[in-house]
Structures are given as structure tokens and as C-alpha cells.
Amino acid sequence: MSQPAARDLAEARGLRLRAPLLLALGALLAFEAAGGIVIFCARLVTGTTPGESLHVIAGVALTGIYAAYQVRHWNRVAPFRPRLDYLLGVIASLSLAATQATGLWLALSWWRDRVAQPVPGEVSYPAALTALHNIGSVAVWTFVSAHFGAVLMRDRRRES
């Protein structure tokens, strides 16, 4: 590839990586991951769920930001191509959508027990749904990281 074309690709990628929507998505994903780990560990160790309300509110915001991001992203990269970066991206997208769906479903329990009809003590979350949400969270980080890495490797090969 010629030098100017490689530079143009690098500049375009740099602009996309600094886009406000992607930065907001990354910040919310990181916040939700950290909060989820704190909640998971605290619940196991102490039986408490610190930051639970903030995790729910940020999760709702993440759902909207992710939907907006994914529409723009897919419009840019469509149609599907049989390549590793695309396959990993599809798996990442599906795992994030499933994790968000289970999170929103769990948020209904939070809303019921904390806002609509407040009850003392812990929120009554369905165990199977909580497990799916926790496992999905691990899948999200695995496949989002793998997708991002595969895209960077693909672009590096193009530049050389």
C-alpha cells in the first residue's frame, strides 16, 4: 500500500478511536465492568451489593449509548465478511446485547424492590438470570478485546 493511503487509513482510524460516542461507550463499559466486579465480590464476601443503584443507572445509559454506537458502526462496516475480525465483532455484539438484556431484566427487580415498592434488605434477583448476566459480562470483555485486537492486527498488515 502506498504511504499516503496508509497514512489516510491511520488518520481515519485515529479519528474513530477518539470519537465521543466510542469514548463514552468505552468509559461506560469500563465503569460497568469495575462496578460489576465490585458487586460480585462484595456479594460473595460480605453479602452486600455496594454501588448497585449506580450500576443499574449506568447500565441503562450504556444500553442507549451502545445501541447508537452499534447502528453507526454497522452502517460503516456492513456487509458481513468472512474474516476473523468480523466474526469476533459479531460474537462481541451478540454477547453485549445478551448481557444488556439480562441486565435490564435484573434492573426490573431492582426497580421493584428499591423504587416502586421499597423493601428492606437485598433485592430479590433471580439466580439463573444473575448467573447469565455475570457469565455474559466475561464473554463481552473476552470478545470485545479479541475483536479490537483482530482489527488492529488486520490494519497493521495492511500498512506493511
pTM: 0.87
- pLDDT given for residue 157 in this prediction: 84
Q: Considering only residues 134 and 154, tell me which one the structure prediction assigns the higher pLDDT.
A: 134
**pLDDT score at 116:** 96
Q: Which residues of 101-125 are buried (b: 16+ CB within 10 A; e: fewer)?
A: ebbeebbebbeebeeeeeeeeebeb
Alpha-carbon distance of 94 to 160, in angstroms, equals 32
For residue 1, pLDDT beyond 70? no
The candidate with the shortest Cα–Cα distance to 146, out of 94, 85, 99, is 85
> How far is 111 from 114, CA to CA, in rounded Å?
5
Enumerate the H helices of the chain as residue ranges: 3-17, 20-45, 52-77, 84-111, 127-159
Per-residue model confidence as pLDDT tens digits over 41-82: 999 999 999 999 999 999 999 999 999 999 999 999 999 999
Q: Inform me whether the pLDDT recorded for 94 exceeds 90.
A: yes
Per-residue pLDDT, 6: 66
- Averaged pLDDT, 85-99: 97
Average pLDDT over residues 28-33: 97
